[in-house]
Structure 1
């Protein structure tokens, strides 16, 4: 199935929130413990976060299926921070993340952004590396969930543009 790429519309917000939760629970479980996945999923954004991000000028690029339903997305801020890259589990492994990263790079260059940077999960790290991102360091931190600190990690990464 071919996927179209387009920009976010406010009517996509609910689908993106659901997609994010599904990706964290299904894909995140491949590299993180059940406690880590629960803590991560509990802090994932609701629909209002996507509407607010778009309103403040963040760029949200979607991959959509034939019915125009979002199946993957990338969100980057004007300073070049790629804050989110998620793919619905039913559509993972089809190159959508790499396609969205390439589109984000094109748009960032047009905006005059000289580098994109992110905090990639254990599972997203290889995708970022394949598209030219360099790992700067591992980030170990905790997420407070159900009154306990849950240790988790990701990777600070960047890609210089231009």
Structure 2
């Protein structure tokens, strides 16, 4: 039998998390996206966390959740406004251990409970299959400038609400 995945805890972002979340952001970009983006693109992208004060203000100004494993931060997600997933990053050591899933599950449930009918994300090429498996639909391809580099991503959207089995139409046998 396979080994059980560690339990993922969730908590709100605290200003003291800024340095470790910036490090998770950089490690995730540098190590997990190398099949989809060049070294120069990854360096430009990772540069978004160089100014930790600015990065911390960005996280504090959004709904940001931190995923923990055995009490240590393993990933984070932030939502800008009511319906835009701005950041979702998992430390490479914790990939495929349910961290991103736990973060997305929580944000989707919180958003739906607040009356939000859908979420959107500008997904990296690396994360696009993850979001697609969760029911996000590709809307358009984008090219964004980061420093001196151009990166591609995809705007994806998901309708929130009851995505379970549809009820039978009235008068039809089940």
Normalising by structure 1, we get a TM-score of: 0.87
Please say if residues 48 and 55 of structure 2, whose CA atoms lie closer than 8 Å, have aligned partners that are also in contact.
Answer: no
Q: Does 1:43 align with 2:71?
A: no
The C-alpha deviation readout for 1:81-138, integer Å capped at 9, x for no partner, is 1000000011112221122111100111122212111100011111111111111011
Q: Summarize the Cα distance change of 1:54–1:33 in structure 2 as closer, same or farther, 3 Å threshold.
A: closer
Q: Summarize the Cα distance change of 1:72–1:15 in structure 2 as closer, same or farther, 3 Å threshold.
A: same
CA distance in 2, matches of 1:26, 1:82: 21
Shift of 1:38: 1.3
Q: 2:114 aligns with which of 111, 114, 124?
A: 111
The C-alpha deviation readout for 1:56-87, integer Å capped at 9, x for no partner, is 3x211111021x22111110023311000000
Residue equivalent to 1:60: 64
Q: Is the partner of 1:29 in helix, strand or coil?
A: coil
- CA RMSD across the alignment: 1.7
Q: Is the partner of 1:30 in helix, strand or coil?
A: coil
Residue equivalent to 2:38: 33
Please say if residues 14 and 46 of structure 1, whose CA atoms lie closer than 8 Å, have aligned partners that are also in contact.
Answer: no
Equivalent pairs, count: 156
Residue equivalent to 1:96: 99
Unaligned runs of 5+ in 1: none
Shift of 1:46: 4.1
Q: Does 1:80 align with 2:83?
A: yes
Shift of 1:161: 1.2
Bigger Rg over Cα: 2
Unaligned runs of 5+ in 2: 1-5, 162-174
Residue equivalent to 2:123: 120
Q: Summarize the Cα distance change of 1:53–1:111 in structure 2 as closer, same or farther, 3 Å threshold.
A: farther
